[in-house]
Structure 1
Amino acid sequence: MPAEPITFFNRLTQRLETEAVYGEGFLRFTYENPLGSLPLHALVTRSAFSRWYGSRMDAPASRAKIAPFLATYGLDTSEFAEAPDSFRTFNEFFYRKLKPQARPIAPGDDVITFPADGRHLVLPDIASCTDFFVKGTRFDLAALLRDDSLATRFARGSMLISRLCPVDYHRFHFPCAGTPGPARLINGPLYSVSPIALRRRASIHWENKREITLLRTPALGDVLLLEVGATCVGSIIQTYKPGVPVEKGAEKGYFRFGGSCFITIFEPGKIRFADDLVEHSRAGREVYARMGEVAAHALG
């Protein structure tokens, strides 16, 4: 039986497209083949494996992977803040910075922007979601946050899940202005966040290693920002300063090598997601959009 392709709606082209999955053969064997469960639990989800793979991407020899990667996935090098041949390792290329004009920040005090490039899915009311990737699976907010008080406050809130692939820009940014607190680490395994994996294990988001930051905002109350690690993510690097006010679009940090995920959670009744996000999410389909574009509007 042929493998089911991963399709998404591309906001830039206004078309349904099929994702070119980096390492697809390995992912499908690991998560879809019964034999794959052996290396999955024995090796792939362990942090030691991701540290080892990340160290390979930090080695000078990894520089040779950059040109073939650019050729295969067709990245626009004119957006890069530095020339492709200036990177000393693949990891330096992976968490590259872009020119400011490459990701303009949508204006407006009522506008909430995407925190990262990627494929996005929304849950307008977290409590009413009973088919999260797998029919009959409810998103477990309490398990995700590991904080009963926060889980109660945000139980009927709204969630934006931004999935970053290895081909994406891997720095993440603040979706609105406010004052961020410190990032709280919750350790866990490092499963892939690809839909290939999520269709078999929808609980990955609230199991994987993650960091949680509470952003206090003037108009939206408290907003929760979560970086979720995944297989081969060497580390999550925070570049912001806790307690120092930030503007919308300011850099928060970056992921080192690997696919990963950024989750934004809003209090109930504070925002309304863009129509295309709601429409495609209801169909179980992600929307590709870039950091700085409109994700939602504030209510009231």
Structure 2
Amino acid sequence: MNPFSFRRLLMQEDLNFLLTNRVPRRALTLFMGWYSRLRSPMLTRVSIAVWRCFTDLDLSEARQQHFNSLHECFTRELKPGARRIDPDPQVLCSPCDAIVGACGPVQAGQVFQAKGFPYSTAELFGPSQDASAFEGGSFITLRLTSAMYHRFHAPTDARIEHVSYLSGDTWNVNPIALQRIERLFCRNERAVIRLRTRQGGHPLALVPVAAILVASIRLHWLNVLLHLRHRGPHEWPCQEAVSKGQELGWFEHGSTIIVFAPPGFTLAAAIQTGTTIRMGQALMHLPSHA
């Protein structure tokens, strides 16, 4: 069976859901974390070749072309200038390469992971965080596939004020799972990163959500790796100034970042469900009076 036919087989919904969810998710995720760090150039080349049977992996933009482990490939840096950061201070740029999932308003404390599948912002943010600042505002779900660039960046000049870590499950976050598992993002391991824009002092939130085979989120300014074995702390008050486009951390495979903005922010014209975007591209526009 050629790689294209194999991918088509895996896209059948029932089979895809079975293979990526009805499995020992935690055990597979911990195994993948161990396996990805094995330092062997030959094993890494073979693993990347197998990986390419499942995805359209393109390493042409990677700063490094030879890898000693899968971890090095998953968390690869890009060549200088590979991504353009929108310079307009009124633009909130995408923090990552992604496919746009659900997006729209935050209404009555709810948003949608897929059509007919709402979830609560209060549950997503966890008991220590108040999500009311985003009522009437906007959200955008950004899904990173396994083949994409996995680092994420500051969407604007801002100050990071708080991080909450919520341990959880490792369900797949692909569209098939999102249409079947209620409140999926609220079940999975995630971090809630609260920011305040330097221009206008607007609150923002980035919520990186881990998934099967990922479940590791690196946050540079805290010098911490959040994963299934993390036992604490779970709350980090902080006052970290970041510049637009500055690297904040990475996922170790691929997953999702949900971006929340308060009332007054508007979605960029190109942002529609299913659109593929790149880090640095316009995501939202700040209020015009900012």
Task: Give the alignment's TM-score, normalised by structure 1.
Answer: 0.78
Structure 1 residue 255 corresponds to structure 2 residue 246: no
Q: CA deviation at 1:74?
A: 5.2
- Which residue of 43, 49, 56 maps to 2:24? 43
The corresponding residue for 2:34 is 55
Whether 1:286 and 2:281 are equivalent positions in the alignment is: no
Q: Which residue of 2 aligns with 1:205?
A: 185
1:120, CA displacement in angstroms?
1.2
What does the per-residue CA deviation read over 1:36-64, in whole Å, with 9 as the maximum and x for residues that have no partner?
Answer: 49x946612x2x33111221122222342
Q: 1:29 aligns with which of 7, 15, 26?
A: 15
Residue 46 of structure 2: which of 64, 73, 78 is its match? 64
Indicate the SS of the match to 2:218: strand
Cα distance change of structure 1 residues 130 and 251 upon mapping to structure 2, 3 Å threshold: closer
Q: Distance in 2 between matches of 1:23 and 1:182?
A: 43
Cα distance between partner residues in 2 of 1:121 and 1:198: 10
Gaps of 5+ in 1: 1-19
- Give aligned pairs, total: 262
The aligned amino acid for 1:102 is A
Q: Which AA in structure 1 matches 2:46?
A: A
CA contact (8 A) 2:94 2:155 kept: yes
Q: Measure, in 1, the Cα distance between the counterparts of 2:156 and 2:182.
A: 28
Q: CA deviation at 1:205?
A: 1.2
Show the 5 A alignment for 1:97-246: 97-127=77-107, 132-135=113-116, 137-147=117-127, 150-218=130-198, 219-241=200-222, 242-246=238-242
Normalized per residue, the structure richer in helix is 1
* Superposed CA RMSD: 2.7
Cα 1:253/1:209, change in 2 over 3 Å? same
Unaligned stretches of 5+ residues in structure 2: 1-5, 223-237
Distance (whole Å) between structure 2 residues aligned to residue 99 and residue 30 of structure 1? 33
Q: Is 1:264 the equivalent of 2:259?
A: yes
State the AA in 2 paired with 1:248: K
More strand by share: 2
Q: Which amino acid aligns with 1:265?
A: F
